[in-house]
């Protein structure tokens, strides 16, 4: 066993953990840190269920080794809300039934939050392009798109 | 059968409250199958056959057992050899538990690439995987057979010397070494065809597809020191898991508790055991809890996809468009063990039309692929593809409008079905009229290489046993516990029905899903039945609660119970209406009048409403590449009564997009030796958010009198007509008739090229 | 996954030093979108993984008067957001925005895409038509190899043991030069190309005559192919449908695809002609300044 020590800021908290190089960031989050909100759907970069924000950009945690994140900043679904205050995306997904089984939802919320951070007024086409790497099998995507549009509106109104 | 009088005005049913489990789902707190941990837990991995068909000659597990970090290794020798035992598994039909046991871990033969042969429990999944790869298995290779026609041909390789013919809705009889057969008929087809002015006969093939749920299969098992087993898992049916485990492991059912975690999609594929018995026995041998995860490749290779098919059909029609005769012959893959969806597949082929002369023949065919499992209206999509494209052809030949044609032949309430009973209340005509009146149907399609297609679809529904418990808290809130796992929002739709019945608010009801030790028996969450059947159990339990509370009010007012009027959450003294309690007030008085109130109902309702739908699609095709772009999609469906309209829309949109994937890109690729080539979501191509437009869902309501609020199931039929609608639109766009699924760009290009040559 | 050692060198010297010790089979890690998946599937099993993300030379993106230097480990995301890349190399933006969705693009690199050497690689045809050179350093010194010579077979490159792809040198476009990349996949994204093609065109100042044209095709041979045979057919010719059609037909003939689960021989040859034609027309449009 050649576990390495890794220090990263996760959801605003400095965390130290040990992991083998072969453990992906996804495995580290779920199995070492018990942050199980980030999901495994395919383990090869094709479904987006494992999305996290790493150093400001949305990535597939399954395609990154845990050791690569030393010194990095990570936001997982657990860090999207501020205490009990939901992010507008979480609110609109709830109200707009942007989910059915809810398994792909953390990935979509993280990816959509990255979109709205960069592009506060995305068109429908831009939303669909951005989220092409996130698979949902339950909803047919319609209400996901609408939830993202509704959240974008809330965020823009807040910014005024 | 109860015919309910459905209230004119409903207070809660039809609104859109937020689901109580939603908060945990948007914050990542909800616990799905792999989110559960126990101290000291080991991880299990399966060694799977690399061959599609082979005899197992020997297995040497010694190197795996000696690998550092390994705590247990099992093969079939560690499991009881059980006798043949057929049980009713709901939408899986009747299954032989001996087959289920053999599928969980192969005993003498392996029947498909991916068939489980051994399993290892170790400190972590990486070690378990490395160790499993050290297990040496000697195989004697046998020829595989990979499609229905080859399997039915003379001298085909034979999978099982003996097998029990499958039965699901209708029994089959063994007819060939690899196939069993069923026949259904009405009237006399030869007379019927004699009366026809136009007859067409067409052949179709469709490929194997998978439900594609984003969460795979995960089980955590703990063999307790006292021999009691606890299972935490993602499942559509905790009781089915418990019962199947009990039979496969020869344990009493009461020794096993199955706790359902949240489920990340199922669509029919999570109704049975796979790695569950392996995890249990590994736990027993190691003395530790064991978690097993099937990864995506394993899920595609070794769970339960839906049948590929070969279909031949013949339709006879008069020039005025009246269908007079139909013959339908369908061979459906059963996979490695008998019992696939041939019966529902063939019996829904024509059921939405009133045809006097029908002859149906179905084959359940063994092939060296994993045993098929239900996938949202099992068997119906391929048969609908065949019939609806033939009807489109007939409409064009006879120059008849496609909606008018279907209106002329539409099955209506009371018409006799080929299965032998009359059709219950159904709103097919209303749907067809809604299509005609819709802006989409009336709009101009615009642009070259664009086309519009229509298809009409049908699926049954189901009742089956469900239980619900209601408990009244002294503050007037209510606990609702049912045995139905919540795949997509049934906790709130059941709470809404309870709130409607009790006269209180959904926010005062706390719905939960019980485990097998805490709640009465419930059949799986399948077959579009939960909001309907478990809803009836909830309704009945609510009536019981109201009756008990009325008794308490009577006690307080010292009157006869008959003199208590129950009116929308209030209890009144008929003789003196000044005496009145709200539900909350009365709840506060229960302790003083005899103690807390609870009710349980076990319902196995008849009066099932069937599902009917029409889909309209516009698409564009790039004639140089065969690429299809879906431009506009409208789905019309009868929900009976939409309890939560947003959720009903969601079911329609989700099933439609699955149908679009089935139509255009999804298929299993096997090489000649029977290896599954596309074991990743890279090459098992499901629709992305960029592949589909908005899906407009038009919900009609012809109430089902078999349910107190008129509910009929909605979840399954949306997947049925998209393939045919798209095929019909392709003809409209480019003049090509597709007779295979999926309609990939390569196949479309082929057809386009054959047009010009 | 088999276990391995992980190292993070801070400089190119440190990296070459780690490689030259040669004690272990080593692979270089950039974005990881190919490597991690291949390692998980046991297709690649290095004993040592060396992370290149802190080595300055591999992460450089700079311009001088004639050339862009693009480090091997620069991500598609960085490429797409650099205004000078967007202005000068829209064909690179074409391919960098097509690879596997937002999350993949945020990590994937052009150097990684080239070294992975898949026949269907989406960035290689554009690099070829842009006349990109690879800058390689190794124990025997530095060398430059044109991108079209870099891949030698599926998953195989001309890199000798312990050689490193450091960066690309890509000449800035001339006046009236345009380039375009296009691929065909069954869905609208997230697929491996069934066929792909890139073209670059230089036209005269009247916008009527082709001075020079370059075409590369992918997923239709063991490596991406530079189709030099189209050049005499394009050079000096008017911009006309039949000229472009002839070039596209030559490219179709140069394609030697196989049938596999993603596509058939006939389909791929047909698509090659269609895609090259569309790529040439796209390149002409860009050369004319109409984008």
- Residue range B325-344, pLDDT digits in tens: 999 999 999 999 999 999 99
B625 close to C (CB below 8 A): yes
Q: Residue B22: pLDDT above 80?
A: yes
Q: What is the dihedral of CA B334, B336, B337, B339, to 10 degrees?
A: -10
Give the closest residue to C152 by CA, choosing from C222, C52, C241, C240: C222
Which of A47, A78, A131 has its CB closest to that of B681? A47
| Residues of C in Cβ contact (< 8 Å) with B682 | 190-192
Q: Model ipTM?
A: 0.98
Mean pLDDT of B105-113: 98
Asked if C96 contacts C123 with a C-beta cutoff of 8 angstroms, the reply is: yes
Provide, as residue numbers in chain B, all residues whose Cβ is less than 8 Å from the Cβ of A143.
646, 649-650, 653
Q: Catalogue all structural domains in chain B, each as residue range(s) with its CATH number.
A: 22-30+463-603 (3.30.365.10), 34-144+211-302 (3.90.1170.50), 379-459+608-756 (3.30.365.10)
| % of chain B exceeding 90 in pLDDT | 87
Q: Between residues 588 and 607 of chain B, which touch chain A (CB distance below 8 Å)? A: none
**What span, in angstroms and rounded, lies between the C-alpha atoms of B552 and A119?**
60
- How many cross-chain Cβ pairs, B to C, lie less than 8 Å apart? 48
pLDDT of B505 over the 60 cut: yes
According to the model, what pLDDT value does residue B521 have? Answer: 87
Six-digit token string for C100? 């596997």
Domain C5-51 CATH assignment equals 2.20.28:
no
Chain A residues closer than 8 Å to B21 by CB: 102
What pLDDT is stored for residue B249 in this prediction? 97
The mean pLDDT value for B68-81 works out to: 98
**Which pLDDT band, with edges at 50, 70 and 90, does B93 fall under?**
confident
CATH 3.40.50.300 fits domain C56-171: no
Residue A141 predicted with pLDDT over 60: yes
pLDDT, position B91: 73
Element (H, E) at B62: helix B62-66
Cβ of B653 and A139 within 8 Å?
Answer: yes
Q: pLDDT tens digit string along C259-281?
A: 999 999 999 999 999 999 999 99
Phi and psi for B578 in degrees, rounded to 5? -65, -30
For residue C120, pLDDT beyond 90: yes
Chain mean pLDDT for chain B = 95
C-alpha B551/C-alpha B512 separation (Å) is: 27
The total number of residues shown for chain A amounts to 160
- Hey, are the CB atoms on C274 and B627 less than 8 Å from each other? no
List, for residues C44-73, the tens digit of each pLDDT value. 999 999 999 999 999 999 999 999 999 999
How far apart (Å, rounded) are the C-alpha atoms in residues B298 and B293? 9
Least confident of B638-647, B659-668, B696-705, B748-757: B748-757
Establish if A63 touches chain B: CB-CB under 8 angstroms: no
Comma-separated ranges of CATH 3.10.20.30 domains in chain A? 4-79
**Residue A144 and residue A122 in contact, taking contact as beta carbons nearer than 8 Å:** no
How far is C-alpha C215 from the geometric centre of its chain's CA atoms? 13
Chain B neighbors of C264, CB-CB under 8 A: 746
Q: What is the pLDDT of residue B218?
A: 98
Q: Which of B93-102, B383-392, B674-683 has the lowest mean pLDDT?
A: B93-102
Please state, in angstroms and rounded to a whole number, the distance separating the CA atoms of residues C136 and B156.
57
Whether the pLDDT of residue C132 is over 90: the answer is: yes
Residue B607 pLDDT class (50, 70, 90 cuts): confident
Residue of B223, B335, B206 whose CA lies nearest to B269: B335
Q: Would the pLDDT of A7 be above 70?
A: yes
Contacts of C192 in chain B (CB under 8 A): 682-683
Is A142 an interface residue toward B (CB < 8 Å)? Answer: yes
Q: What is the pLDDT of residue B417?
A: 86
- pLDDT tens column, B684-735: 999 999 999 999 999 999 889 999 999 999 999 999 999 999 999 999 999 9
DSSP structure string for B374-424 = --SSTTHHHHHHHHHHHHHHHHHHHT--HHHHHHHHB--TTPBPTTSSB--
Split at pLDDT 50, 70, 90, the class of B427 is: confident
Domains of chain C, residue spans: 5-51, 56-171, 177-287
Question: Residues B596-616: what's their mean pLDDT?
Answer: 92
Start-end of CATH 1.10.150.120 domains in chain A = 88-159
Q: How far is B126 from chain A (nearest CA, A)?
A: 9
List chains adjacent to chain A, taking adjacency as at least 3 C-beta pairs closer than 8 Å: B, C
Are A28 and A16 a contacting pair, CB within 8 Å?
Answer: no
pLDDT score for A56: 97
Q: Smallest Cα–Cα separation from C76: which of C68, C67, C86, C66?
A: C86
Torsion (CA) B558, B562, B564, B566 in degrees, nearest 10: 160
Residue B273 host element (H or E): none
Percent of chain C predicted with pLDDT > 70: 100
CB contact (8 A) between residue C189 and residue B682: no
- Could you say which of 2.160.10.10, 2.60.15.10, 3.10.20.30, 1.20.140.10 is the CATH number of the domain covering A4-79? 3.10.20.30
Chain A residue numbers touching C2 (CB-CB < 8 A): 22
pLDDT at B755: 84
CATH number at C177-287: 3.30.390.50
Six-digit token pair at B444?
């101009």
Distance of residue B608 Cα from the nearest chain A Cα, in angstroms: 24
Neighbours of C208 (CB within 10 A): 11
Three-state DSSP state, B268 = coil
Cβ neighbours for C96, distance < 8 A, ≥ 6 positions apart: C76, C79, C80, C105, C110, C123
Report the top-level CATH class of A88-159.
Answer: mainly alpha
With cut-offs at 50, 70 and 90, classify the pLDDT of residue B522.
confident
Is A141 part of the contact surface with chain B (CB cutoff 8 Å)?
Answer: yes
- Phi, psi of C178, deg, nearest 5: -140, 150
Nearest-Cα distance to chain C for B679, in Å, is 11
B268 neighbors B21 (Cβ within 8 angstroms)? no
Q: What is the rounded average pLDDT of the residues B234-255?
A: 96
C51, A68 contact by CB (below 8 A): yes
- Which of the 8 DSSP states describes residue C83? H
Query: Do the Cβ atoms of A136 and B689 come within 8 Å?
Result: yes
pLDDT in the model for residue C134: 98
Quick one: pLDDT at residue B418?
84
pLDDT of residue C291: 57
pLDDT at B2: 61
User: In B, which residues are within 8 Å of A88 by CB distance?
Assistant: none
């Amino acid at each position: 066993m050649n576990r390495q020590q890794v220090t990263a800021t996760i959801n605003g908290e400095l965390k130290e953990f040990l992991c083998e190089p072969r453990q992906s960031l996804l495995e580290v989050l779920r199995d070492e840190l018990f942050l199980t909100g980030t999901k495994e759907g395919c383990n090869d970069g094709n479904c987006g269920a494992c999305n996290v924000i790493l150093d400001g950009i949305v990535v597939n945690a399954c395609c990154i080794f845990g050791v690569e994140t030393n010194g990095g900043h990570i936001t997982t679904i657990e860090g999207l809300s501020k205490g009990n205050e939901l992010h507008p995306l979480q609110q609109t997904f709830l109200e707009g039934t942007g989910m059915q089984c809810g398994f792909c939802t953390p990935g979509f919320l993280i990816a959509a939050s990255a979109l709205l951070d960069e592009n506060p007024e995305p068109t429908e086409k831009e939303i669909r392009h951005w989220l092409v790497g996130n698979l949902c099998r339950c909803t047919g995507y319609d209400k996901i798109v609408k939830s993202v549009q509704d959240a974008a509106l809330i965020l823009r109104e807040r910014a005024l | 059968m109860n015919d309910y009088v459905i209230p004119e005005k409903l207070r809660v049913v039809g609104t859109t409250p937020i689901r109580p489990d939603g908060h945990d789902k948007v914050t990542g707190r909800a616990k799905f199958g792999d989110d559960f941990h126990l101290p000291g837990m080991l991880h299990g991995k399966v060694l799977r056959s690399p061959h599609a068909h082979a005899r197992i000659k020997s297995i040497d597990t010694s190197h795996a057992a000696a690998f550092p970090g390994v705590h247990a290794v099992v093969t079939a020798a560690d499991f009881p050899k059980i006798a043949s035992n057929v049980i009713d598994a709901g939408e899986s039909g009747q299954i032989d538990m001996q087959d289920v046991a053999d599928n969980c871990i192969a005993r003498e033969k392996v029947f498909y690439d991916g068939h489980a042969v051994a399993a290892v429990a170790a400190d972590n999944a990486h070690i378990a995987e490395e160790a499993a790869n050290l297990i040496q298995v000697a195989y004697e290779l046998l020829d595989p057979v990979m499609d229905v026609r080859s399997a039915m041909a003379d001298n085909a390789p034979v999978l099982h010397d003996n097998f029990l013919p499958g039965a699901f809705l209708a029994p089959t009889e063994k007819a060939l070494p690899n196939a069993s057969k069923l026949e259904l008929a009405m009237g006399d087809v030869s007379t019927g065809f004699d009366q026809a002015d136009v007859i067409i006969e067409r052949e179709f093939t469709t490929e194997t597809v998978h439900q594609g749920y984003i969460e795979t299969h995960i089980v955590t098992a703990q063999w307790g020191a006292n021999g009691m087993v606890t299972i935490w898992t993602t499942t559509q049916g905790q009781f089915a898991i418990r019962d199947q485990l009990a039979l496969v492991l020869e344990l009493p059912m009461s020794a096993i508790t199955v706790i359902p975690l949240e489920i990340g999609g199922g669509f029919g594929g999570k109704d049975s055991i796979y790695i569950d018995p392996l995890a249990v026995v590994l736990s027993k041998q190691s003395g530790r809890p064991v978690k097993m995860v099937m990864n995506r490749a394993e899920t595609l290779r070794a769970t339960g996809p839906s049948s590929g098919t070969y279909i031949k059909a013949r339709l006879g029609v008069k020039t005025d468009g009246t269908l007079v005769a139909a013959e339908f012959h369908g061979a459906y893959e059963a996979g490695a063990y008998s019992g696939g969806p041939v019966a529902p597949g063939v019996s829904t082929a024509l059921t939405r039309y009133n045809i006097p002369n029908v002859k149906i023949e179905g084959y359940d065919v063994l092939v060296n692929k994993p045993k098929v499992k239900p996938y949202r209206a099992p068997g119906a999509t391929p048969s609908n593809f065949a019939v609806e494209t033939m009807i489109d052809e007939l409409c064009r030949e006879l120059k008849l409008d496609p909606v008018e044609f279907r209106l002329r032949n539409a099955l209506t309430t009371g018409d006799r079905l080929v299965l032998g009973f009359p059709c219950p209340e159904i709103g097919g005509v209303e749907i067809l009229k809604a299509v005609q009146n819709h802006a989409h149907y009336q709009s101009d399609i615009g642009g070259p290489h664009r086309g519009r297609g229509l298809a009409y679809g049908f699926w049954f529904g189901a009742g089956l046993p469900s239980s619900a418990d209601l408990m009244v808290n002294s503050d007037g809130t209510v606990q609702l516990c049912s045995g139905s796992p919540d795949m997509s929002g049934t906790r709130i739709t059941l709470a809404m029905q309870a709130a409607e019945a009790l006269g209180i608010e959904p926010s005062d009801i706390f719905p939960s899903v019980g485990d097998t030790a805490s709640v009465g028996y419930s059949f799986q969450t399948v077959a579009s039945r939960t909001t309907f059947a478990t809803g009836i159990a909830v309704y009945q339990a609510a009536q019981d609660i109201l009756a008990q509370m009325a008794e308490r009010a009577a006690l307080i007012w010292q009157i006869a119970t008959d003199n208590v009027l129950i009116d929308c959450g209030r209890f009144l003294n008929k003789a003196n209406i000044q005496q009145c309690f709200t539900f909350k007030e009365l709840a506060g008085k229960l302790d003083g009048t005899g103690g807390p109130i609870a009710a349980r109902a076990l319902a196995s309702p008849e009066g099932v409403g069937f599902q009917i739908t029409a889909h309209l699609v516009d698409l564009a095709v790039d004639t140089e590449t065969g690429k299809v772009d879906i431009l506009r999609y409208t789905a019309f469906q009868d929900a009976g009564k939409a309890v939560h309209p947003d959720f009903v829309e969601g079911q329609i949109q989700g099933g439609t997009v699955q149908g679009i994937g089935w139509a255009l890109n999804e298929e299993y690729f096997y090489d000649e030796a029977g290896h599954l080539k596309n074991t990743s979501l890279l090459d098992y191509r499901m629709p992305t958010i960029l592949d589909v437009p908005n899906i407009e869902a038009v919900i009609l309501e012809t109430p089902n009198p078999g349910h107190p609020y008129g509910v009929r199931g909605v979840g399954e039929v949306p997947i049925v007509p998209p393939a045919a609608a798209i095929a019909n639109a392709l003809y409209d766009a480019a003049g090509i008739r597709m007779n295979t699924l999926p309609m990939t760009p390569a196949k479309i290009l082929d057809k386009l090229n054959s047009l010009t040559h | 996954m088999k276990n391995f050692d992980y190292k993070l060198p801070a400089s190119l010297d440190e990296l070459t030093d780690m490689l030259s010790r040669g004690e272990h089979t080593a692979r270089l890690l950039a974005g990881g979108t190919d490597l991690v998946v291949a390692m998980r599937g046991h297709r690649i099993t290095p004993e040592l993984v060396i992370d290149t993300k802190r080595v300055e030379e591999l992460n450089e993106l700079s311009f001088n008067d004639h050339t862009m230097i693009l480090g091997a480990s620069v991500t598609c995301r960085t490429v797409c957001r650099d205004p000078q890349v967007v202005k000068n190399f829209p064909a690179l933006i074409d391919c960098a925005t097509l690879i596997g969705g937002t999350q993949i693009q945020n990590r994937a690199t052009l150097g990684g895409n080239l070294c992975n050497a898949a026949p269907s690689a989406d960035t290689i045809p554009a690099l070829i038509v842009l006349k990109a050179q690879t800058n390689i350093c190794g124990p025997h010194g530095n060398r430059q190899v044109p991108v079209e010579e870099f891949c030698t077979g599926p998953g195989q490159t001309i890199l000798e043991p312990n050689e490193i792809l450091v960066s690309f040198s890509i000449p800035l476009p001339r006046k009236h030069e345009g380039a375009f990349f296009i691929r065909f996949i069954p869905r609208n994204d997230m697929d491996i190309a069934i066929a792909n093609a890139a073209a670059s065109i230089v036209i005269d100042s009247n916008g009527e005559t082709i001075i020079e044209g370059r075409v590369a095709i992918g997923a239709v041979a063991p490596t991406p192919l530079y189709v030099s045979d189209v050049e005499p057919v394009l050079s000096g010719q008017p911009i006309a449908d039949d000229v472009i059609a002839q070039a596209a037909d030559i490219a179709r003939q140069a394609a030697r695809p196989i049938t596999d689960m993603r596509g058939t021989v006939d389909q791929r040859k047909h698509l090659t002609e269609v895609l090259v034609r569309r790529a040439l027309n796209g390149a002409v449009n860009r050369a004319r300044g109409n984008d």
